[in-house]
Amino acid sequence: MNTDALLTRLREALPAERVVTDEAERVAYSYDNSRLQALPDVVVHAAGHDDVVHVATCCHALGVPLVARGRGTNTTGASVPVAGGVALSLEGMQRIIDYRPADRLLVCEAGTLNGTVQSTAGADDLFWAPDPTSGGYSTVGGNIACGAGGPRAVKYGTARDAVLGLRAVDGSGRTLVTGCRTTKGVVGYDLTRLLVGSEGTLAIVTEATLKLLPRPALRRTMRAAYRDVESAAAAV
């Protein structure tokens, strides 16, 4: 990889402090919550959609591997830069762009925390269905990339059922806009559901339109005890 050429292109549009080459700082982006670890050659901190476009365009032109990541809470190793190249962090992209409680939708950047969405929507007795174990500090983009669901998926479905539309960047740097801002949207190919769960292999999600639901009027806690693991598995 021609590191000098890559750095020159990246710094054409990005501040120097957001293009990181110091090894000590790169180590923090070499692993996620899996057991995998691989050191990226460069870490780039995106501040918005246009930054992601620039990074993807540069990597595509130079044939450099590119891996996007949020908070790295996933256990699949999907955000580990196993081939080196660029680790693109979206954790700084945390803006809530639009919030319409009457329409039950919220538009936010990919780095927005699941917990932030829940607290914002919760003020109007709404919630976003995905509730992974890392929900308080995992990002919306990460939840979408891995198709997160959590226990609530049994009733409300996974992230595929909770996203109305996306703004994303493909591997060549082109911007994709999918879906709609209505509960019903049946025209054309359902590219939104295709991108959800694709782990960044098809495009990097930068913004998402989330489908909110009314908070249940009542919640109950149930405890179930089983004599052994086999019995518990059979019940599930």
The tens-digit pLDDT sequence of the chain (236 residues) is: 778 999 999 999 999 999 999 999 999 999 999 989 999 999 999 999 999 999 999 999 999 999 999 999 998 899 999 999 999 999 999 999 999 999 999 999 999 999 999 999 999 999 999 999 898 899 999 999 999 988 899 899 999 999 999 999 999 999 999 999 887 777 788 999 999 999 999 999 999 999 999 999 898 888 999 999 999 999 98
Buried b (16+ CB within 10 A) or exposed e, 65-98: ebbbbbbbbbeebbbbbeebbbbbbbbebeeeee
Domain end residue (candidates: 31, 62, 89): 89
- Same domain for 105 and 184, yes or no, is yes
What pLDDT score was predicted for residue 47?
97
Query: Residue 225: inside a domain, yes or no?
Result: no
Give the chain's domain count. 2
- Same domain for 106 and 160, yes or no, is yes
Query: Residue 222: inside a domain, yes or no?
Result: no
- Same domain for 82 and 124, yes or no, is no
CATH number at residue 20: 3.30.43.10
Exposed, middle or buried, 229 (CB in 10 Å: 0-12/13-18/19+)? exposed
> For residue 185, what are the CA distances in angstroms to 56, 154, 191, 205, 213?
29, 23, 12, 20, 17
- Same domain for 122 and 43, yes or no, is no
Query: Residue 226: inside a domain, yes or no?
Result: no
3-state secondary structure at position 98: strand
Query: Residue 106: inside a domain, yes or no?
Result: yes
Query: Residue 234: inside a domain, yes or no?
Result: no
- Same domain for 35 and 111, yes or no, is no
Question: Containing domain of residue 153, as a range?
Answer: 96-214
- Same domain for 84 and 188, yes or no, is no
